[in-house]
Amino acid sequence: MVDLLSGCVPYKEEDVKKYNELKWWEGLTFGDLLDRAADVHPDKEAFVDRVTRLTYGEAREKVNQLAIGMMDLGIQPKDRVMVQLPNWNEFVFAYFALQKIGAITVLLIDRYRQYEINHLTNITGATYWVVPVKHKKTDYTPIMDDVLKENPGIKKVITVRGERAGEKFESLEGLMAKADMTQENLDRLVQRRPDPMQIAHMGPTGGTTGAPKVVPRSHNSLVTGITYCSRSWEQSNLDINLIAGPIGHDLSFSKGFMGSIITMGKVVLLDSPDNKSICETIQQEKITSIIWVPTLAQRLLQYEDINQYDLTSLQKMHSAGGASHPGMVKDVIDKLNCKFFNGYGGTEGPTTITRINNDLETICGTVGRPTCPYDTYKVIDPFGKEVETGKQGELVLKGPGVFTGYYENPEENKTALNEDGFFKTGDLARIDENGYITLTGRIKEMINRGGESISSTEIEKLITLHPEVAMVAVIPMPDEDMGEKACAYIQPTEGSQLDFDNVIAFLKAQDASVLQLPERIEFIDEMPYTGAQKLDKRTLREDIENKLKTEAQMA
Q: Model confidence over 346-368: pLDDT tens digits?
A: 999 999 999 999 999 999 999 99
- The predicted pLDDT at position 454 comes to 78
Q: Are 293 and 245 in contact (CB under 8 A)?
A: yes
AA letter at 363: I
Select, from the ranges 41-55, 112-126, 322-336, the one with the highest average predicted confidence (pLDDT): 41-55
Residue 12 lies in a domain: no
Query: Is the residue at 125 inside a domain?
Result: yes
Evaluate whether residue 249 is within a structural domain: no
pLDDT band at 444 (very low <50, low <70, confident <90, very high): low
CATH number reported for the structural domain that contains residue 179 in this entry: 3.40.50.980
Task: Report yes or no on 143 lying in a domain.
Answer: yes
Residue 488: left (phi > 0), alpha (psi -120 to 50), or beta?
Answer: beta
Instruction: Select from 538, 426, 548, 546 the least CA-distant residue to 473.
Output: 538
- What does residue 55 show for φ and ψ, rounded to 5 degrees? -80, 170
Please identify, among 218, 241, 268, the residue that sits at the C-terminal boundary of a domain.
Answer: 218
Confidence label for 532 from pLDDT (cuts 50, 70 and 90): low
Q: Which of 277, 270, 276, 273 is nearest to 240 (CA)?
A: 270
pLDDT at 450 over 80: no
Buried b or exposed e, range 10-31, using 16+ CB within 10 angstroms: ebeeebbeebbeeebbeebbbb
Q: Which residues contact 412 (CB under 8 A, 6 or more apart)?
A: 213, 406
- Rounded mean pLDDT of 533-546? 89
- Please give the Cα distance from 366 to 461 (Å, whole number): 12
Neighbours of 164 (CB within 10 A): 15
Q: What is the pLDDT of residues 251-306, one digit of tens each?
A: 999 999 999 999 999 999 999 989 999 999 999 999 999 999 888 898 999 999 99
Mean pLDDT across the stretch 494-513? 90
pLDDT at residue 451 in the model: 56
404, amino acid identity: T
Instruction: Return the DSSP state at 419.
Output: T
d(CA 301, CA 5): 45
Distance in angstroms (rounded) separating the CA atoms of residues 75 and 98: 9
30-40 vs 219-232: helix crossing angle, rounded to 10: 50
Query: In the listed set 218, 243, 267, which residue is the last one of a domain according to the structure?
Result: 218
pLDDT band per the 50, 70, 90 thresholds, residue 209: very low
Query: How many other CB atoms sit within 10 Å of the CB of residue 409?
Result: 16
Quote the CA–CA distance of 42 and 171 in Å, as a whole number.
27
**Is the Cβ–Cβ distance between 126 and 120 less than 8 Å?**
yes
- Kindly report the number of other CB atoms within 10 A of residue 460's CB atom: 22
Exposure string of 33-59, with b = 16+ CB inside 10 Å and e = fewer, is bbbebbeebeeebbbbbeeeebbbebb
- Residue 320 domain-assigned (yes or no): no
Q: What is the pLDDT of residue 211?
A: 57
**In the chain, how long is the greatest CA-to-CA distance?**
78
Rounded Cα gap, residues 243 and 413, in angstroms: 32
- Among candidate residues 159, 183, 218, the one where a domain is terminated: 218
Closest CA to 457 of 379, 545, 352, 344: 344
- Give the C-alpha separation, 495 to 518, whole Å: 23
The answer to which of 58-67, 190-199, 394-403, 509-518 has the lowest mean pLDDT is 509-518
**144, 164 contact by CB (below 8 A):** yes
Per-residue pLDDT, 216: 98
Q: What percent of the chain has pLDDT over 90?
A: 82
Q: What is the pLDDT of residues 471-485, one digit of tens each?
A: 999 999 988 777 789
Within a domain: residue 60?
A: yes
Q: Is residue 355 domain-resident?
A: no
Instruction: Over range 8-24, report the average pLDDT.
Output: 97
Residue 331: pLDDT over 50: yes
The pLDDT of residue 208 is above 50: no
> Which phi and psi angles does 84 have, rounded to 5°?
-125, 85
The per-residue b/e assignment along 281-303, b for 16 or more CB within 10 angstroms, e otherwise, is bbbebebbbbbbbbbbbbbbbbe
Range 399-421 average pLDDT: 95
Q: Which amino acid is at 381?
A: D
Helix intervals (H) in 434-536: 456-464, 500-509
- Given a cut of 50, whether residue 207 has pLDDT beyond it is no
In this predicted structure, what is the pLDDT of residue 125?
97
Q: What are phi and psi of 469, to 5 degrees?
A: -105, 120
pLDDT tens digits for 180-189? 999 999 999 9
In eight-state DSSP terms, residue 84 is -
537 three-class SS: helix
Cβ neighbour number for residue 77 with a 10 Å cutoff:
15
The pLDDT value given to residue 452: 64
Which letter does DSSP use for residue 5 in this model? Answer: P
Whichever domain contains 517, its CATH number is 3.30.300.30
Domain that holds residue 463: 446-554
pLDDT number for residue 210:
47
Residue 9 burial class via C-beta count within 10 angstroms: exposed 0-12, middle 13-18, buried 19 and up: middle
Residue 361: Cβ within 10 Å count: 9
Structural domain contains residue 145: yes
How many structural domains does the chain have?
2
Q: How high is the pLDDT of residue 458?
A: 78
